[in-house]
Amino acid sequence: MRELPHWKMSSNSGSYRMKNYKNPSWWTKENDSAWDRTKAAFKRDWDQTKHDFGGKEPDTNQNVNDTVKQAAGKEPIPPRREPNYEDVEPALRFGYGARAYYRNQYPKWNSDVENQLKQDWTSANPDVDWNRDRDAIHRAWDYDESSLSE
């Protein structure tokens, strides 16, 4: 039986201590798998809630429909504190296409190509934030399809 740690306030000292919870006898690996998927969806939903109430968490564009689909295993769960794929897809698309277009002029990512891409991206998309999208653009620029066939 797997024990699950949980912090609990001690009534005697008023301090927190680790309390271990045990799974019931009917708990299986399928329960663990389903819970891990659901827990990840709930964590993203919680991050979004904190953002919506003014917290420093980034906007993950997570809504209740996303949470339900992710918990049910019908939609992949992005890592916490990262936006959903649909939110970064335009930046990934741009970075991937830019690599094909500029590869001879800029064989590797550097400040020159970054400045060029920033200009291209913000000129084509004046309402977007380069700093928010830069990492996704860089990731797609560095993507190497040939590594898939090795």
Looking at residue 116, its pLDDT comes to 94
| Calpha distance 118→131 (Å, rounded) | 9
Looking at the fold, whether 55 and 100 belong to one and the same domain comes out as: no
Residue 79 lies in a domain: no
H helical segments located in the chain: 29-52, 64-71, 85-102, 111-124, 130-142
- Count, residues in the chain: 150
Domain that holds residue 16: 3-71
Q: Mean pLDDT of all residues in the chain?
A: 75
Q: Which of 61-70, 91-100, 105-114 has the lowest mean pLDDT?
A: 61-70
Query: Where is average pLDDT lowest: 6-15, 33-42, 58-67, 96-105?
Result: 6-15
User: Do 47 and 90 reside in the same domain of the chain?
Assistant: no
Task: State if pTM tops 0.85.
Answer: no
1 contacts 23 by C-beta, under 8 angstroms: yes
Residue whose pair of structure tokens reads 């827990």 in the numeric block: 39
* pLDDT, average across residues 89-99: 86
Whether 104 is in a domain gets the answer yes
Closest to 61 measured CA to CA, from 122, 138, 75, 34? 75
**Residue 8 pairs with which residues in a beta bridge?**
17
Q: Where does a domain end: 71, 104, 130?
A: 71
In a domain, 51, yes or no: yes
Q: What percent of the chain has pLDDT over 90?
A: 14
- Does 102 share its domain with 125? yes
Do residue 101 and residue 64 come from a single domain? no
> Hey, which of 22-26, 54-58, 86-90, 135-139 has the most confident mean pLDDT?
135-139
Spatial distance between the Cα atoms of 30 and 35, rounded to a whole number of angstroms: 8
**What band does 110 get if pLDDT is binned at 50, 70 and 90?**
very high
- Number of structural domains in the chain: 2
Residues 66, 15 share a domain: yes
Pairing state between β 3-9 and 16-22: antiparallel
**Is the distance from CB of 84 to CB of 60 less than 8 angstroms?**
yes
pLDDT in tens, 22-46: 666 777 788 777 777 777 777 777 7
What percentage of the chain reaches a pLDDT higher than 70?
73
Question: Other CB atoms closer than 10 Å to residue 73's CB: what's the count?
Answer: 13
78 within domain boundaries: no
Contacts made by residues 53-57, CB under 8 angstroms, sequence distance 24+: 57/81
Domain end marker among 48, 71, 94: 71
Check residue 7 and give its pLDDT: 47
Q: Do 57 and 93 reside in the same domain of the chain?
A: no
